[in-house]
Structure formats: structure tokens, C-alpha cells
Structure 1
């Protein structure tokens, strides 16, 4: 996988789900921890989001007011976004509920010594929603990608 043009990377795999890479297609989603030798992937599906009464709420109709907001912000009005609403009360994001977790464990390559494995940082590409992790050692390089 080539280096992402628009994306992110981390210096080490995530240790908590809150720090995992997010990827998905609008129906299925994953949280990837990013360790190529012992990775965890938490999978979700859009039907597993708990209802909170906002299922029929459409997006706010604010496009025609966006230029005015931009003008206010560029003029230094740091409170401009506070009243940028279509008048509806606050709707919270529906709570996440995981479907299942996958754990991918890879044995050390033959000839590798304990501690000889070096892992490159996990990365994520925004345009493709791909997540990848790689490791290398004196043995052949191992890698995976969700793309």
C-alpha cells in the first residue's frame, strides 16, 4: 500500500478502542487497532446503532447560510458557529454498539528472533477508507490492508 495522500498514521498500535482507526462504507464499519502481528478489529453494522428518536431526522437545511457563517468566522467572530442551526433542539449521535471482534494473530516468521520484529506505524487513508499495518524482520515482510 502506498503512503496515504490524505490520511493519518500512528506511532504505535492502539491499546484502547477509542484510539483505533475508523473505516467503513456507510453500512459496515470497523475499528482497527493496527498491530500487524496481533491485531484486533471491531466490526459494526448500521442496524446495530441504538435508537434515540432521531431516525427520521434529516440533515439541517443550512447550505444557503454557509457563506454568511464563513464571513463571520473570517472576520474574527469566534462565536459565529454557536447559533448556526436550523432551529431544532440538539440531537445526540446514536450510541455505538459493536457486532463482534476479530483477532488476527500471525506466528513469527521462521528465522526471526524474539524482539527482532520492527513494526511500521499503522496508517489510514481518508479517500479509500483503507487501513493498513506492516511489520518487517530479517524474514520476509508481512502486511495486511482492509482495502
Structure 2
């Protein structure tokens, strides 16, 4: 009788451990709310190389909409640092819509976007601790 109980407890323990392992593998590979894919469409540095305007396209997932975003960060590099970006324009991305950026002067960025886009975020001025880095953003709808 002891032998049956002993083997029964060992079998149940192995079954429970196996279920925990299977559950862990399932949760680690399940990607319903994963980060949407990001694609850099264009980077545009100002005349002095102090600031960079970057246009991104984010794909959607189960809880987010596809978006097109313009951000400004300090410095000018091929791989902008995500933590230092300041988003100045965002809109839901529908097929065939465009957003263009161009530095009009040292401290003015012009964002031209398609009339099919409905902006979610539009910031007109960015201020930094160093006032020489402040940026004015102008928006034009085409």
C-alpha cells in the first residue's frame, strides 16, 4: 500500500512540474501585446547638426493603432536614442499618407502632412534647458 501512495505522489509531482514548465513556455512565447514594429522613414538634421527630426512608422497590434510619428532629439546620428526623443507630431497611419519634415531655419522645423491624416499630437514649441536649442514647429497640410 505504501508503494502505491509513494508512486502516486511522485507521479502527481512530476505532472504538476510539467504543467508549470509548459505554462512558462506558453506565456514566454505568446505575443498578443508585443511591441509594434517600428520603421524609420526619414531622418533630417538641422544645419548645425545639433538636432534631428525623425519620422517613424509604427505598425499596430491587438491594442494599438498603426501610427506615423515625428520626433526631435538632440544630436544627429543614424540610430536615434529612443529615450531622448520628444514626439512633436503623431497621427493614425492610413495607407498612402505621407509626412515630410524640413528645417526652415536654425530653430524652425516645418512638418508637412497629407490632408487625409487626422493629427493626434501637434506640439508647436519645444523648450530645452539650453535656450539655444529651442525649436519652433510649423505645420502645413497638403
The bucket for the TM-score relative to the shorter chain is under 0.3
In terms of Rg, which structure is larger?
2
Query: How high is the TM-score relative to the length of structure 2?
Result: 0.24
**Larger strand proportion of the pair:** 2
Query: How high is the TM-score relative to the length of structure 1?
Result: 0.24
